[in-house]
Structure 1
Amino acid sequence: MEEKIKWVVKDNKLNEDASQLSNELNVDIIIAEMLVSRGIKTFDQSKSFFRPNISQLHDPFLMRDMNIAVERILLAINQKEKIMVYGDYDVDGISSVALMSSFLKDMGAIVSTYIPDRSEGYGLSTNGIEEAYEKNQTLIITLDCGINAIQQSKFASEKGIDLVICDHHLPSEALPKACAILNPKRKDCNYPFKELCGCGIGFKLIQAINNKIGKKIENILHFLDLVAIACAADIVSLEGENRTLTFLGLRQLNSKPRLGIKLLINQKSKIKINDLLFFIAPRINAAGRLAKPSIGLRLLTETKKDKLIEIINTIEELNSKRREVEKSMANQAFEKIKSSTNNNFYSSVVCQDDWHKGVIGIVASRLIDKFYKPTIVFCESKKGELTGSGRSIKNVDIHEILSRCEEYILSYGGHKYAAGLKIAKKNLINFSQKFDEESGKLLNNNLPSKQILIESEINLRSITPKFFRILNQFQPFGPANKTPIFLSKNLEVFGDIHKVGKNKEHLKINISQDRENIFSAIGFNLSSKIEILETSNFDMVYTIEENIWNGKSTIQLNIKDIK
């Protein structure tokens, strides 16, 4: 059974801060309330929010161990040591490796790259260390991984290999043995912004090296396109330094994109963060999910057009296959949950031995969308062992849940809303029951309800060209700066109702309020709501977006729900 959607309007009641800001900025009170709800209460804070620039980037040497990392890398370059740049196999890791290896090569370093495939598993591996040893590489720089590589770091040390670890995942109490560990989440790190992605930390490292050798920051700004892609793909908080990095990265993508991205996206219109999240990132990921992550890396580093066209053709084929596999697995998972007589109450745990390991994370996200419960999807990775990918819902920390299930887990790691784990196959039932029990505790034994968080209730007449222009300046949208969703009441259809799409699953209508202020609206997968539209006036929650058709730009409402 699909969850009913609850509408929750933000408590953005008029206050002195919003009223004063509205006057100072000469903007609608709705805009001022949106700013205040994001912690922006003054003219100067508003200026920084709407006009991100490089002066807002923090000093990279505020990060613990940064100076040590810089000195070790410069020593390796000067002494012609061989360096391995090692990254995780997701978009953040691949982008990080592209950034770091390209920067070091520009400096004349002797560099090779290593990205494990999914069969090898997440994180710094003994295989990678063995390869570094065989190639006489004396320094490994890890990106987007390594913070919990306790045993692997000892192995590297035994082989005479130094480690510089750049990671944003939560550290354990014990830290690995390394020359330097760059992670703002370290308890002993006073870096002012904690939510950088792996590629963001990689950028801070090259910023520090660039600074140390006396170069201007403009020397490395062309790498920010990679940081923007990583921030979008890893769904990090888009506030503070992440907002600045992503804003500047999008500017780079729109002014001078690297050739691989330019050929891949093949469009003349402006690249926005949704293009990174829903177009570019899935294609980079598809290579790592179904083939080799090195294909995605080559997309980001190759400079020859003919080779890039071959790479892009391969990526498009893999992405099409990924979609087919994902659809099949998701349908099977839906049926398992619907038909199970012993299905968990507060969570969803599903397993099928032959599911594709590279796609279980996407399927977990699909299950969240449909059933809105903390979710784990398992497949068999080797005989007697299951690999799982977990996703969670608002205010439910899946990493915390897994920490309470450790008696049934071989290994795990991740974030508040996404995690990976391995368990013995024989422990599946016990793990599933314990996972459900602990999910229930975090939910206070209340079934979760899917919510739409509404920015504000507005009248359609508020949607003026000026309002829309300022609204666009809130971009890039993402966690901590969500795309604003508005509520308007007592609406009616103006003209005919059109069902569109291959299976007529979408709605296309014109709506009005008080028989004026007519707007075009699209509702994806909302054709089931047609009866409401035909029989009465209705309330609607929606986002406001630009629609470009035949070169003409108009305001369009993207319907999220109707009541």
Structure 2
Amino acid sequence: MRRLHPQAPKPRWILKPQPSAAALRVLGNYPPQLATLLWQRGLKTQKTASVFLNPDFTQRADPRVLKDMEKAVERLARAQKHHERVFVAGDLDHDGICGAVLLSGFFKDMGLAHEAYMPSEEEGHELSYVAVERAEKFGATLLITVDFGVSSKSAIAWARRKGMDVIILDHHMLPQDLPEAYAIIDPRYLGTPTPLSYLCGAGVAFAFVDACARGGILPQKIRDQNSYLRSFLDLVAMATIGDLVPLQGDNRSFVREGLTVLGERKRIGVAALCGIARLKEVVGEDDVAFLLVPPLNAARRLGNASLAYDLLRVRTVKSAEKLARSIGRANAARQTAAKRFIKEAMEKIERENEIPWVIIIGDASWPMSYLSILASRIKDRYHRPVFVWSRHPEGFLRMSSRSIPAFDLVDAMQKCGGGDFFKKYGGHPQAAGGDFEANKFVEFERRMIAHAKTLLSPENLMPTIEIDLELKGHELGPELSKSFEPLAPFGKENPRPRVAVRQLRVISVGKPTKGWFGKISVVPENGGRLITVFAEQDHPAFNFRQGDIIDMVIEYSRLFGMSADKTALAILVDAHLH
């Protein structure tokens, strides 16, 4: 098989197509740079631009159009009428946790007897037999999964044998052989209307509650349906941002409004999370992604994802602050351990003479809760499909995978044996996972490498950086950043604007001392204000010296944890000598 040099490939800079003068005149109500960004996003008329820039939560799509939704609503109504017990099983990450908290809050308000369960790391990202046993012990006749379920055929069949109906609220790719559940609600079904097709797991849970409300299933005390539903959007926003689903369709209005709800801090656990993150004022999407979601995921590193669930459900400030401190300590330990495991992984890769087109790497000593972090960082560095594995206590191998656009992970696993080879597998095209027996590792590696060799080309393995605008140094500054803000919230399929600027003189280089970021100060060679850019700790730009003349690509972001009126900073994407 052909292989490439072991160093990470250098990305090519590609300037996106720029609008003509006539196209900019159509969007003449907006500043030229904002108009350019709108045009690049396919928003080429005043009407489409206005709808995008002013998302309205009250104009969301009716979720009852989702397959099986009305059937699921009818089943919950029956459970309420007959005083049945409902068991909620959520995935162990931020999405499943937020979805489970959302459903539990709704069921509590409805007066429904319910219990929620978060799996252990060993149980993995699926409905487990342990969860079914807990549901049976609770006396549940209705079991609802959040953020998993479509790949849990055997456990769902067992729950049915125990006398439970199962409603699946999931958003992962649908396997060919679906479970025999009472209802499967998943926006991945073909024909799902676009506004609803991008929902995360908690988003699907919200859609279920919304459909119940539209069907008349609401707590008696509620007079304003939209205000009540709005109170759950802090959870939906955290899950949507953290799960990297597209900020398109209803997701955009959910996150825009949800960030406002987060800023109100009416949920005691959220206020405690903001406290340990030292967030004093505005909550933006960066704050959620870097400061609020990681502690929720860190709870499982303490061996109990229920801690994060409890934090978001807690009713007293004292209990919330105690839980938040425990989770904060776990997150700090997670960051330290992650750096160590990432360093180990990079050293393993770079000890080899060449880097293969698909990276398959693992170590029995790596905790399973770190596999996704490792896979993401390796993929980002080497621009390869990556499978990272560790050994499960029961002896089989568990892997997490991340990929580049040209390589669909779920399709690759299907083509490499599917259900006949893997104990279980599933996820998304660029983020997936699976389990297989340890004695199959050599065969797995052989099949996956052969598939990658057939599918990929050298061009697929060359990373690219798409640039929205190329500007002069004197055009950079907080005014430019403010002109970008109407596009917020930023995220997948609505990325932060990236700007190329050339001929900048390096004034100082400050390598990271604590945390992940260091800063580099530059000034335009032809005159202009001092610009400070921040870069992650292992960025090669820290090798620049004072006086070097460089070109760079930056993206704008509010400083994490600072209020919206503070000067915006730039995040360094890439740089090289001029």
Q: Does 1:137 align with 2:150?
A: no
CA distance in 2, matches of 1:396, 1:402: 11
1:473 aligns with 2:486: yes
> Which amino acid in the other structure matches residue 307 of structure 1?
S
One-letter amino acid of the counterpart of residue 13, structure 1: Q
Identical amino acids, percent of aligned pairs: 27
CA RMSD of aligned residues (A): 2.5
Q: 1:17 to 1:92 in 2, by over 3 A?
A: farther
Q: Distance in 2 between matches of 1:128 and 1:257?
A: 31
Q: For 1:519, which of 531, 535, 554 is the aligned residue?
A: 531
TM-score by length of 2: 0.90
Unpaired stretches in structure 1, ≥5 consecutive residues:
none
Residues in 2 aligned to 1:363 and 1:254: alpha-carbon distance in whole angstroms: 31
Native 8 Å contact 1:225 1:249 kept in 2: yes
Distance in 2, Cα, partners of 1:179 & 1:547: 47
1:162-183 CA-to-partner distances (Å, cap 9, x unmatched) read 1111110111233222222111
The 5-angstrom pairing of residues 486-501 of structure 1 reads: 486-493=499-506, 496-501=507-512
For 1:483, give the aligned amino acid: R
User: Which residue of the other structure, out of 190, 198, 201, is the alignment partner of 2:204?
Assistant: 201
Q: Does 1:217 align with 2:226?
A: yes
Deviation, 1:205, is 0.7
Of 434-443 and 355-364, more deviation after overlay is shown by 434-443
Tell me: CA distance 1:43–1:55, structure 2 relative to 1, closer, same or farther (3 Å).
farther
Pairing of 1:261-410 with structure 2 (within 5 A)? 261-266=270-275, 267-340=279-352, 345-406=356-417, 408-410=421-423
Return the letter of the residue paired with 2:411.
E
Matches within 5 A, 1:28-427: 28=32, 30-187=33-190, 189-190=192-193, 192-213=195-216, 216-266=225-275, 267-340=279-352, 345-406=356-417, 408-427=421-440
Distance in 1 between residues matched to 2:300 and 2:542, nearest whole Å: 41
Instruction: Kindly provide the CA deviation profile for residues 440-468 of structure 1, in whole angstroms up to 9, marking residues without a partner as x.
Output: 33322556123222112122344465543
User: What residue is the counterpart of 1:15 in the other structure?
Assistant: 20
1:516 is paired with a residue of what secondary structure?
Answer: coil
Kindly provide the CA deviation profile for residues 294-342 of structure 1, in whole angstroms up to 9, marking residues without a partner as x.
Answer: 001011110111111221121122112222322222222222222246x
- Are 2:10 and 1:5 equivalent residues in the alignment? yes
State the distance in 2 between where 1:314 and 1:44 align.
Answer: 48
Structure 2: stretches of 5+ with no match in the other structure: 1-5, 219-223
Q: 2:422 and 2:231 mapped to 1: Cα distance?
A: 42
Q: What is the CA distance between 1:120 and its match in structure 2? A: 1.6
Higher mean displacement: 269-278 or 364-373: 364-373
Structure 1 residue ranges, 4+ long, deviating more than 6 angstroms after superposition:
548-552
Alignment deviations for residues 59-103 of structure 1 (CA, whole Å, 9 cap, x no partner) = 111112111111111211121100001111111001000000111
C-alpha separation in 2, matches of 1:487 and 1:348: 31
Q: How many residues align?
A: 558
For residues 311 and 122 of structure 2, the distance between their equivalents in structure 1, rounded to whole angstroms, comes to 22
Partner letter of residue 418 of structure 1?
A
Higher relative contact order (CA 8 A, sep 6+): 2
Q: TM-score normalized by structure 1? A: 0.92
Q: Write the deviation string for residues 352-376 of structure 1: whole angstroms up to 9, x where unpaired.
A: 1122111111111121232221111
2:520 alignment partner AA: K
- Aligned match of 2:31: 27
1:384–1:426 contact (8 Å) kept in structure 2: no
Secondary structure in 1 aligned to 2:392? Answer: strand
**Contact persistence 1:118–1:288 (CA under 8 A):** yes
> Which stretch of structure 1 is more off in the superposition, 330-339 or 345-354?
330-339
Structure 2 CA distance, aligned partners of 1:531 and 1:306? 47
Matched, 1:454 2:467: yes
